Amino acid sequence: MSERQADIGVLGLGVMGANLALNMAEKGFTVAVNNRTAEKGYQLRDENGAVGQNILPTDSIEEFLSSLKSPRLVLFMVPAGPIVDDEMKRIMPLLSPGDIMIDAGNADFNDTVRRSQSVAGTPFHFVGMGVSGGELGARHGPSMMVGGAQETYAALKPILEPISAKYQGEPCVAWLGPDGAGHFVKTIHNGIEYADMQMIAEIYGILRDGIGMSAGQMADIFADWNTRELSSYLIEITAVNLAEKDAGSGQPLVDVILDEAGQKGTGRWSVIESQKLGVGATTIEAAVSARSVSSRSAERALTERLYDGIEHARAEFHGERDGLAELEAALVTAKIIAYAQGFAVLTAASAEHGWNLPLGEIARIWRAGCIIRSQFLDDITKAYEGNEPPANLLHAPEFVTRVTAGEAALRRVVAKAAMAGIPVPALSAALSYFDDYRRARGTTNLTQAQRDLFGAHTFRRLDQDGVFHHQWPAV
Ligand code: 6PG
C-alpha cells in the first residue's frame, strides 16, 4: 500500500475520468485512481511523464480508500445509471464520517435527489456534479455545476477551482444548490446544447439544399459568423467539421457521415422535466424529435420516394448569397429564444424544488469550458446581474432590442424554408413560441370553451372573478 496521502480519488478511468484525474494531477494534486481493470491506473501514471507522478494507482477499493486524506473525496466517473448505485453500495461500508462522494457523470437529477436522500441519514455526504466540456474540457478545464449540501463545497472548491475552465480569469465552477440542482442544471445545459446544434444543422440544411453550397464554402461562412455575434464553440467546431476532408474518398467528411443522430438521454430528460414544470421548451423538444426522426433513415428514404422530393427547394433560396446576413440574424434570434426557454425551465425548477438557483451564476460558469460556451453567455450573465433580474430573458432590455432587430429575418427564413420544403423544426419552434409568448390575447379561450362543453372543466372570465360552467347546447 502506498504511503502517500492523496487529495482526491477518482473511481472509473474511462476517458472522462482519466482526463479529470490528469487535470487534477497537473494542477499539483495527488490523485488516487481505481478502475475495474487496475492496469489502467498504472498506465495513466506511467504514460504521462511528470503529471503522471501525481497519479496514485491502486489495486483494490480498500487500498484506494485508505490512500485518501480525511475527509475523503471520492469522485465517481462511471456510466450514469445503476452502476453509480452499485459503486456507492460498494464503498459506503468502508467510508468514515465526513467523507464525500461526488457523482460527476451525466446523472438524471431524479436519481441524484434519491441518492442524496439515501445518504442523508448517514454520516457521509453526496454531491451531484455536472461536468461539461467533453474529453478536452475534462483534461484542460471543464465547466462544473455542483449540487449538494453547501458545506461540502468548502472541501471541493480548492480542487475544483484550479482545474476548471477560466473566463477572463474567473473559474467556471460554482455550487448551485442542494441535492439534484447541479445535475439538473447540467441536463438543461445539454437541452440548450441540443437546440443550439439543431438550429445550426437547420441553417446548414438551407445553405446546402436551398442555396446549393459545398461543405467547404459553408465552412468559410461559419468561420466568418464565428467572428461576430454568433461567436461560440459550437459555431467554431461547425466550421472545422465542414472543412474536414475524408482521406479515403477525398470528399468532405460531413458528406459521407450517415445522417442519424445519436442521443444519450439528457435532451429527452430536459423535455420531460420542462413538461412536468409546465414550461414550453419547444426548441429543445424540436431538437430531440429531429434526432429521433433522423434515426429512422430507412423510413425517411421510403417517404421520400412516396412524396415529391426536394427539387423545388432551391427556388426559394437559390443564388441568395446576399441573404447570408439574413440567415445569420435568424440564427442569432432563434438562439436567444432557445436560451430564454432553457433559462425559463431553470427558473421554474428552482421554484418547484426550492433550489434558489443563481441564474446569473449559471450563465457565468457556462461562459467557458462547456459545450455551449460563448460570448453570448456573458450577455446573459449581465442580464441577470442587475437589481431586478428579468422573470424571462426575453424581458431583459438588451434582448428585447436584439430580438426586435432580428425578428423579421427569422420570420423570412422560416417562411422561405417552409415554402422550399426544407425542415426547420427548431427555428420555426423558436418563432412560434415567440409569437405566442408575446401575444397578450391568445386562443386557448376556445380550448377552455371546448373543455367546458365536453367535460364541464369550467373556465374563468375576463370580465368577472370566479370559475364558471356554461350549459352549452347539446351536440
Ligand atoms: C458536455 C456534453 C456531454 C456529452 C453529451 C452528448 O456538456 O460535455 O453535453 O455531456 O457530449 O452527453 O450527449 P448526446 O450523446 O445525447 O448528444
Pairing of strands 8-11, 73-76: parallel
Residue with cell 425542415: 423
Residue 133 clears pLDDT 60, i.e. is over it? yes
pLDDT given at position 386: 80
Q: What is the pLDDT of residues 176-189, one digit of tens each?
A: 999 999 999 999 99
Taking the CA of residue 194 as reference, the ligand 1 atom at the shortest distance is 17
Q: Where are the alpha helices (DSSP H) in 318-374?
A: 324-353, 359-365
The span from the CA of 68 to the CA of 180, in Å, is: 26
How far is 354 from 181, CA to CA, in rounded Å?
A: 10
322, pLDDT greater than 80: no
Q: Which is the closest atom of ligand 1 to the Cα of 134? A: 8
Q: What are 39-72's pLDDT values in tens digits? A: 999 999 999 999 999 999 999 999 999 999 999 9
Residue 331 banded pLDDT, cuts 50, 70, 90: very high
pLDDT at residue 373, as a whole number: 97
Interatomic CA distance for residues 90 and 38, integer angstroms: 16
Q: Is the pLDDT of residue 2 over 60?
A: no
Residue 32: name the closest of 84, 83, 82, 75 by CA. 75
For the chain, give every domain's residue range: 8-179, 187-437, 444-475
Angle between helices 233-243 and 215-225 (to 10 degrees): 160
Is the beta carbon of 105 within 6 A of some atom in ligand 1? Answer: no
- Output the pLDDT for position 315: 67
Task: Work out the percent of the chain whose per-residue pLDDT is above 90.
Answer: 94
- How far is Cα 443 from Cα 452, in angstroms, rounded to an integer? 15
Q: Report the pLDDT averaged over residues 112-139.
A: 97
Q: State the architecture of 187-437 in CATH terms.
A: Orthogonal Bundle (1.10)
- 3-class secondary structure, 34: strand
Q: Tell me: the pLDDT tens digits for 355-407?
A: 999 999 999 999 999 999 999 999 999 999 987 889 999 999 999 999 999 99
Edge-to-edge strand ranges of the sheet holding 55-57: 55-57, 31-34, 8-11, 73-76, 100-103, 125-132, 143-147, 173-177
Residue 276 annotated as catalytic = no
Look up residue 421 and give its amino acid. Answer: G
Question: If you classify domain 8-179 with CATH, what class do you get?
Answer: alpha beta
Average pLDDT over residues 232-244: 98
Q: Are 132 and 371 in contact (CB under 8 A)?
A: yes
Average pLDDT over residues 417-430: 96
pLDDT, residue 107, reads: 97
The pLDDT, as a whole number, for residue 316 is 72
* CB distance 292 to ligand 1 below 6 Å: no
Look up the CATH number of domain 444-475.
1.20.5.320
Q: What's the pLDDT score for residue 321? A: 65
Q: What average pLDDT does range 23-42 have in this prediction?
A: 97
Q: Give the C-alpha separation, 362 to 384, whole Å.
A: 10
Mean pLDDT of 28-35: 98
How far apart are alpha carbons 161 and 18 in whole angstroms?
18
Amino acid code (one letter) for 356:
N
Which atom of ligand 1 approaches the CA of 267 most closely? 16
Q: Which of 87, 193, 202, 316 is catalytic?
A: 193
Q: What secondary structure letter does DSSP report for 462?
A: S
The rounded Å distance from CA 5 to ligand 1 centre is 33
pLDDT computed for residue 318 by the predictor: 64
Q: What pLDDT does residue 1 have?
A: 47
Specify whether the CB–CB gap between 399 and 383 falls below 8 A. yes
Output the residue whose Cα is nearest ligand 1's atom 14. Answer: 263
pLDDT at 240 > cutoff 80: yes
Examine the pLDDT at 345 and tell me if it is beyond 90.
yes
What local confidence, expressed as pLDDT, does residue 354 receive?
Answer: 96
The answer to whether residues 100 and 155 touch, using CB atoms and an 8 Å cutoff, is yes
Other CB atoms within a 10 A radius of the CB of residue 164 amount to 26
- E-strand ranges in 20-113 read 31-34, 55-57, 73-76, 100-103
pLDDT at 459 over 60: yes
- 246: which DSSP letter? P
Q: Is the CB of 133 under 6 A from ligand 1?
A: yes
Q: What is the pLDDT of residue 317?
A: 77
Number of Cα atoms under 13 Å in the Cβ half of residue 52 = 10
> Model's pTM, two decimal places?
0.96
Tell me if 143 CB under 6 Å of ligand 1. Answer: no
Furthest C-alpha separation in the chain: 85
**Cβ(134) to ligand 1 under 6 A?**
yes
323 has pLDDT over 80: yes
Per residue in 196-222, pLDDT (tens digit) is: 999 999 999 999 999 999 999 999 999
| pLDDT value, residue 59 | 97
Per-residue pLDDT tens over the stretch 262-279: 999 999 999 999 999 999
Indicate if the pLDDT at residue 9 is higher than 70. yes
Residues 6+ apart with CB under 8 A from 58: 2, 32, 33, 34, 38, 41, 64, 67
* Percentage of residues in the chain having pLDDT higher than 70: 97
* Average pLDDT for the chain: 96
Known catalytic residue at 316: no
Kindly tell me if the per-residue pLDDT of 115 is higher than 90: yes
- State residue 325's pLDDT score: 95
Distance CA 330, CA 411 (A): 8
Nearest to 428 by CA among 271, 206, 215: 206
